Structure 1
Amino acid sequence: MTDAPPADVNGLEWAALRGMGALAEKMGMQFTEFSVDRCVGTMPVEGNTQPVGLLHGGAYVVLGESLGSMAANLHAGPGRLAVGVDINATHTRSATSGVVTGVCTPVHLGRSITVHEIVVTDDQGRRCSTIRITNMIKDLPPT
Structure 2
Amino acid sequence: MDDAQKELLARLNARRQGTVMEALDITVVEATLEKVVASMPIGPQHLQIVGYLHGGVSVVLAETVASIASVLHIDAERQMAFGLEINANHLRPKRDGIVLGTATPIHLGKTTHVWDVRITDERDKLICISRCTVAVVDQPPDGSNPLLPDPR
TM-score, length-scaled by structure 2: 0.82
Which amino acid in structure 1 is aligned with residue 13 of structure 2?
A: A
Secondary structure of 1:108's counterpart equals strand
CA distance in 1, matches of 2:87, 2:60: 11
Structure 1 residue ranges (4+ consecutive) displaced by more than 3 angstroms after TM superposition: 7-11, 17-21
Alignment of 1:25-44 (within 5 A): 25-44=22-41
Aligned match for 2:60, one of 59, 62, 66: 62
Alignment of 1:1-143 (within 5 A): 11-19=8-16, 22-47=19-44, 48-77=46-75, 78-143=77-142
Note closer, same or farther for the CA distance 1:114–1:21 as it changes in structure 2 (3 Å cut).
farther
Per-residue deviation, residues 50-109 of structure 1 (Å, max 9, x unmatched): 111110001100100111111112211221011111000001101111011111111111
CA contact under 8 A between 2:36 and 2:103: conserved in structure 1?
yes
Aligned residues: 137
How many angstroms does 1:19 deviate by?
3.6
Give the RMSD, CA atoms, in angstroms.
2.0
CA distance in 1, matches of 2:52, 2:5: 41
Secondary structure of 1:82's counterpart equals strand
Query: What are the ranges of 5 or more consecutive residues in structure 1 without an aligned counterpart?
Result: 1-6
How many angstroms does 1:15 deviate by?
1.4
Identity %: 34
Secondary structure of 1:62's counterpart equals helix
Secondary structure of 2:124's counterpart equals coil
TM-score, length-scaled by structure 1: 0.86
Per-residue deviation, residues 9-40 of structure 1 (Å, max 9, x unmatched): 85424413444761111111111001221111
